[in-house]
Protein backbone atom coordinates (compact mmCIF):
# COMPACT_ATOMS: atom_id res chain seq x y z
CA UNK A 1 0.00 0.00 0.00
CA UNK A 2 1.22 3.52 -0.73
CA UNK A 3 2.10 5.44 2.40
CA UNK A 4 0.73 8.65 0.87
CA UNK A 5 -2.73 7.05 0.88
CA UNK A 6 -2.41 6.23 4.59
CA UNK A 7 -1.48 9.83 5.36
CA UNK A 8 -4.80 11.13 4.05
CA UNK A 9 -6.87 8.42 5.69
CA UNK A 10 -8.39 10.62 8.36
CA UNK A 11 -6.34 9.56 11.38
CA UNK A 12 -2.66 10.14 12.21
CA UNK A 13 -0.32 7.31 11.31
CA UNK A 14 2.43 6.01 13.58
CA UNK A 15 5.70 4.96 12.00
CA UNK A 16 9.26 4.08 12.98
CA UNK A 17 12.64 4.37 11.32
CA UNK A 18 14.99 1.43 11.76
CA UNK A 19 18.69 1.56 10.99
CA UNK A 20 19.94 -1.30 8.82
CA UNK A 21 22.59 -3.26 10.73
CA UNK A 22 26.20 -2.44 9.85
CA UNK A 23 27.40 -5.89 10.84
CA UNK A 24 26.28 -9.06 12.59
CA UNK A 25 26.90 -7.59 16.05
CA UNK A 26 23.91 -5.26 15.59
CA UNK A 27 21.45 -7.81 14.25
CA UNK A 28 20.17 -9.25 17.54
CA UNK A 29 19.36 -5.86 19.10
CA UNK A 30 17.60 -4.76 15.92
CA UNK A 31 15.51 -7.93 15.75
CA UNK A 32 14.33 -7.42 19.32
CA UNK A 33 13.45 -3.78 18.60
CA UNK A 34 11.47 -4.65 15.48
CA UNK A 35 9.56 -7.40 17.29
CA UNK A 36 8.76 -5.12 20.23
CA UNK A 37 7.58 -2.20 18.12
CA UNK A 38 5.68 -4.42 15.69
CA UNK A 39 3.51 -5.29 18.68
CA UNK A 40 2.42 -1.65 18.79
CA UNK A 41 0.87 -1.92 15.32
CA UNK A 42 2.69 0.80 13.39
CA UNK A 43 1.06 1.80 10.14
CA UNK A 44 4.41 1.70 8.36
CA UNK A 45 8.15 1.68 9.00
CA UNK A 46 11.25 2.70 7.08
CA UNK A 47 14.77 1.25 6.89
CA UNK A 48 17.87 3.37 6.37
CA UNK A 49 20.32 2.86 3.53
CA UNK A 50 24.11 2.78 3.39
CA UNK A 51 25.87 1.82 0.19
CA UNK A 52 28.11 -0.66 2.02
CA UNK A 53 25.10 -2.43 3.57
CA UNK A 54 22.45 -1.79 0.90
CA UNK A 55 21.61 -5.49 0.57
CA UNK A 56 20.76 -5.61 4.28
CA UNK A 57 18.33 -2.71 3.82
CA UNK A 58 16.50 -4.46 1.01
CA UNK A 59 16.41 -7.80 2.79
CA UNK A 60 15.12 -6.20 5.99
CA UNK A 61 12.38 -4.27 4.19
CA UNK A 62 11.02 -7.35 2.46
CA UNK A 63 11.24 -9.48 5.60
CA UNK A 64 9.34 -6.94 7.71
CA UNK A 65 6.58 -6.90 5.10
CA UNK A 66 6.34 -10.69 5.00
CA UNK A 67 6.94 -11.60 8.64
CA UNK A 68 5.10 -8.77 10.39
CA UNK A 69 2.68 -7.69 7.63
CA UNK A 70 3.71 -4.06 8.11
CA UNK A 71 4.25 -1.73 5.15
CA UNK A 72 8.01 -1.16 5.03
CA UNK A 73 9.67 1.59 3.00
CA UNK A 74 13.25 1.38 1.78
CA UNK A 75 15.48 4.42 1.98
CA UNK A 76 17.55 5.00 -1.14
CA UNK A 77 20.28 7.60 -1.62
CA UNK A 78 22.39 9.14 -4.36
CA UNK A 79 25.27 6.84 -3.40
CA UNK A 80 25.08 4.84 -6.65
CA UNK A 81 25.19 5.57 -10.36
CA UNK A 82 21.91 5.98 -12.21
CA UNK A 83 22.26 2.51 -13.74
CA UNK A 84 23.02 0.92 -10.36
CA UNK A 85 20.05 2.75 -8.89
CA UNK A 86 17.73 1.36 -11.55
CA UNK A 87 18.98 -2.16 -10.82
CA UNK A 88 18.14 -1.64 -7.13
CA UNK A 89 14.71 -0.29 -8.02
CA UNK A 90 14.09 -3.26 -10.32
CA UNK A 91 14.92 -5.58 -7.42
CA UNK A 92 12.53 -3.68 -5.13
CA UNK A 93 9.78 -3.87 -7.71
CA UNK A 94 10.22 -7.64 -8.13
CA UNK A 95 10.11 -8.11 -4.35
CA UNK A 96 6.90 -6.14 -3.92
CA UNK A 97 8.32 -3.06 -2.21
CA UNK A 98 5.69 -0.32 -2.63
CA UNK A 99 7.41 2.78 -1.20
CA UNK A 100 10.82 4.41 -1.46
CA UNK A 101 12.25 7.32 0.53
CA UNK A 102 14.44 9.18 -1.98
CA UNK A 103 17.32 10.97 -0.26
CA UNK A 104 20.52 12.64 -1.31
CA UNK A 105 22.40 11.00 1.54
CA UNK A 106 24.64 12.35 4.27
CA UNK A 107 28.10 13.82 3.75
CA UNK A 108 31.06 11.88 5.19
CA UNK A 109 30.88 13.93 8.40
CA UNK A 110 29.86 17.28 9.91
CA UNK A 111 31.25 20.11 7.80
CA UNK A 112 32.40 17.80 5.00
CA UNK A 113 30.94 18.28 1.50
CA UNK A 114 28.68 15.66 -0.06
CA UNK A 115 30.46 13.76 -2.83
CA UNK A 116 28.09 12.67 -5.63
CA UNK A 117 28.76 9.37 -7.38
CA UNK A 118 26.93 10.31 -10.58
CA UNK A 119 26.40 13.86 -11.95
CA UNK A 120 22.82 12.81 -12.70
CA UNK A 121 22.22 12.32 -8.97
CA UNK A 122 23.40 15.42 -7.16
CA UNK A 123 20.31 16.08 -5.04
CA UNK A 124 17.37 14.23 -3.56
CA UNK A 125 15.15 15.82 -6.22
CA UNK A 126 17.30 14.16 -8.90
CA UNK A 127 16.63 10.75 -7.36
CA UNK A 128 12.90 11.49 -7.18
CA UNK A 129 13.00 12.46 -10.87
CA UNK A 130 14.84 9.28 -11.83
CA UNK A 131 12.34 7.07 -10.01
CA UNK A 132 9.28 8.87 -11.32
CA UNK A 133 10.66 9.40 -14.82
CA UNK A 134 11.67 5.75 -15.26
CA UNK A 135 8.10 4.52 -15.03
CA UNK A 136 8.24 2.86 -11.62
CA UNK A 137 5.02 2.75 -9.63
CA UNK A 138 6.52 3.28 -6.19
CA UNK A 139 5.06 5.71 -3.72
CA UNK A 140 7.87 8.23 -3.21
CA UNK A 141 8.71 10.01 0.00
CA UNK A 142 11.30 12.77 0.34
CA UNK A 143 12.96 14.61 3.20
CA UNK A 144 12.67 18.23 4.26
CA UNK A 145 13.99 20.34 7.13
CA UNK A 146 11.87 22.15 9.67
CA UNK A 147 14.86 24.38 10.38
CA UNK A 148 17.71 25.63 8.24
CA UNK A 149 19.96 22.71 7.41
CA UNK A 150 23.66 23.30 8.15
CA UNK A 151 24.42 23.10 4.41
CA UNK A 152 21.74 25.61 3.38
CA UNK A 153 22.27 29.38 3.23
CA UNK A 154 18.72 30.20 4.34
CA UNK A 155 15.15 28.93 4.64
CA UNK A 156 14.21 30.14 1.16
CA UNK A 157 16.87 27.80 -0.23
CA UNK A 158 15.37 24.95 1.80
CA UNK A 159 11.90 25.76 0.51
CA UNK A 160 13.02 25.79 -3.13
CA UNK A 161 14.57 22.33 -2.83
CA UNK A 162 11.42 21.05 -1.18
CA UNK A 163 9.39 22.43 -4.08
CA UNK A 164 11.76 20.71 -6.54
CA UNK A 165 11.17 17.36 -4.86
CA UNK A 166 7.42 17.86 -5.08
CA UNK A 167 7.59 19.00 -8.72
CA UNK A 168 9.77 15.98 -9.50
CA UNK A 169 7.10 13.59 -8.23
CA UNK A 170 7.33 13.11 -4.45
CA UNK A 171 4.06 11.98 -2.83
CA UNK A 172 4.79 12.99 0.76
CA UNK A 173 7.52 14.54 2.90
CA UNK A 174 9.15 13.64 6.21
CA UNK A 175 11.01 16.25 8.23
CA UNK A 176 14.43 15.91 9.73
CA UNK A 177 14.28 15.76 13.52
CA UNK A 178 13.30 18.87 15.45
CA UNK A 179 12.61 19.64 19.11
CA UNK A 180 10.59 22.85 18.83
CA UNK A 181 7.19 22.48 17.15
CA UNK A 182 7.15 26.11 16.10
CA UNK A 183 9.63 25.25 13.35
CA UNK A 184 7.35 22.49 12.02
CA UNK A 185 4.25 24.69 12.03
CA UNK A 186 6.17 27.45 10.25
CA UNK A 187 7.40 24.95 7.64
CA UNK A 188 3.85 23.76 6.93
CA UNK A 189 2.66 27.36 6.61
CA UNK A 190 5.47 28.34 4.23
CA UNK A 191 4.97 25.18 2.19
CA UNK A 192 1.25 25.83 1.83
CA UNK A 193 1.84 29.46 0.82
CA UNK A 194 4.23 28.25 -1.89
CA UNK A 195 1.69 25.78 -3.27
CA UNK A 196 3.02 22.59 -1.61
CA UNK A 197 0.00 20.70 -0.29
CA UNK A 198 1.48 17.24 0.23
CA UNK A 199 1.39 15.59 3.67
CA UNK A 200 4.40 16.67 5.75
CA UNK A 201 5.09 14.12 8.48
CA UNK A 202 6.99 15.38 11.53
CA UNK A 203 10.15 13.38 12.29
CA UNK A 204 10.74 13.05 16.04
CA UNK A 205 13.64 11.82 18.13
CA UNK A 206 13.29 11.12 21.85
CA UNK A 207 16.77 12.06 23.08
CA UNK A 208 18.64 8.83 23.96
CA UNK A 209 21.86 10.35 25.39
CA UNK A 210 23.97 13.51 25.44
CA UNK A 211 26.33 12.03 22.87
CA UNK A 212 23.57 11.10 20.42
CA UNK A 213 21.94 14.51 20.84
CA UNK A 214 25.18 16.36 20.08
CA UNK A 215 25.83 14.28 16.97
CA UNK A 216 22.33 14.52 15.53
CA UNK A 217 21.94 18.24 16.14
CA UNK A 218 25.25 18.90 14.40
CA UNK A 219 24.13 16.86 11.39
CA UNK A 220 20.54 18.15 11.17
CA UNK A 221 20.91 21.65 12.59
CA UNK A 222 18.11 21.15 15.10
CA UNK A 223 17.68 23.74 17.86
CA UNK A 224 17.36 22.42 21.41
CA UNK A 225 14.81 24.49 23.38
CA UNK A 226 16.12 26.15 26.53
CA UNK A 227 13.88 24.08 28.81
CA UNK A 228 15.05 20.76 27.38
CA UNK A 229 18.65 21.95 27.36
CA UNK A 230 18.42 22.83 31.07
CA UNK A 231 16.89 19.47 31.94
CA UNK A 232 19.62 17.62 30.08
CA UNK A 233 22.36 19.72 31.68
CA UNK A 234 20.96 18.95 35.13
CA UNK A 235 20.49 15.22 34.46
CA UNK A 236 22.64 13.01 36.64
CA UNK A 237 23.24 10.33 34.02
CA UNK A 238 22.11 9.07 30.60
CA UNK A 239 19.03 7.42 32.10
CA UNK A 240 17.90 10.80 33.40
CA UNK A 241 18.70 12.33 29.99
CA UNK A 242 16.61 9.64 28.31
CA UNK A 243 13.67 10.24 30.68
CA UNK A 244 13.81 14.00 29.99
CA UNK A 245 13.87 13.28 26.26
CA UNK A 246 10.79 11.06 26.51
CA UNK A 247 8.86 13.69 28.50
CA UNK A 248 9.74 16.38 25.96
CA UNK A 249 8.79 14.18 23.01
CA UNK A 250 5.42 13.33 24.58
CA UNK A 251 4.69 17.05 24.94
CA UNK A 252 5.70 17.60 21.31
CA UNK A 253 3.43 14.79 20.14
CA UNK A 254 0.45 16.04 22.13
CA UNK A 255 0.70 19.48 20.53
CA UNK A 256 1.25 18.04 17.05
CA UNK A 257 -1.67 15.62 17.28
CA UNK A 258 -3.99 18.32 18.58
CA UNK A 259 -2.97 20.41 15.55
CA UNK A 260 -3.99 17.58 13.19
CA UNK A 261 -0.67 16.33 11.80
CA UNK A 262 -0.89 13.47 9.27
CA UNK A 263 1.29 11.21 11.37
CA UNK A 264 4.20 10.81 13.78
CA UNK A 265 7.48 9.33 12.55
CA UNK A 266 9.95 8.25 15.24
CA UNK A 267 13.69 7.98 14.70
CA UNK A 268 14.29 4.97 16.95
CA UNK A 269 18.06 4.42 16.66
CA UNK A 270 17.03 0.76 16.94
CA UNK A 271 15.79 1.22 20.51
CA UNK A 272 12.21 0.32 21.42
CA UNK A 273 11.80 1.52 25.00
CA UNK A 274 11.32 5.28 24.41
CA UNK A 275 8.84 4.97 21.52
CA UNK A 276 6.83 2.44 23.51
CA UNK A 277 6.64 4.79 26.50
CA UNK A 278 5.60 7.70 24.27
CA UNK A 279 2.87 5.71 22.53
CA UNK A 280 1.55 4.44 25.86
CA UNK A 281 1.27 8.03 27.13
CA UNK A 282 -0.47 9.24 23.98
CA UNK A 283 -2.92 6.35 23.99
CA UNK A 284 -3.53 6.93 27.69
CA UNK A 285 -4.58 10.48 26.78
CA UNK A 286 -6.76 9.02 23.99
CA UNK A 287 -4.81 10.98 21.36
CA UNK A 288 -4.03 7.76 19.49
CA UNK A 289 -6.10 4.64 19.09
CA UNK A 290 -4.62 1.39 20.37
Number of helices (H) and strands (E) in the chain: give both, helices first: 11, 8
Domains along the sequence of the chain with CATH? 3-284 (3.20.20.220)
Q: State the pLDDT at residue 10.
A: 85
CA pseudo-torsion sign 56, 79, 65, 274: positive
Whole-model pTM: value is 0.94
Which positions are catalytic?
A: 17
Concatenated DSSP letters for 32-48?
HHHHHHHTT--SEEEE-
Alpha carbons 290 and 288: distance in angstroms, whole number: 6
| Confidence check: pLDDT of 110 > 70 | no
Who has greater pLDDT, 58 or 82? 82
Summarize the confidence of residues 235-259 as an average pLDDT: 96
Who has greater pLDDT, 19 or 220? 19
pLDDT in tens, 2-33: 999 999 988 999 999 999 888 777 888 899 99
Q: State the pLDDT at residue 53.
A: 67
Amino acid sequence: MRIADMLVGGRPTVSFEFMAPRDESEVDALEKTIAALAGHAPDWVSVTYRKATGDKTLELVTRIKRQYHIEAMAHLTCANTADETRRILNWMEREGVANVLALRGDPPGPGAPFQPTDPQLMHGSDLVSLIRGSGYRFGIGAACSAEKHPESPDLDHELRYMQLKVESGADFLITQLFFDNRFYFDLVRRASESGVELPIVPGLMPVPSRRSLAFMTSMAGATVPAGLESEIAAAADDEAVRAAGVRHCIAQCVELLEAGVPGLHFYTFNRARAPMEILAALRGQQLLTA
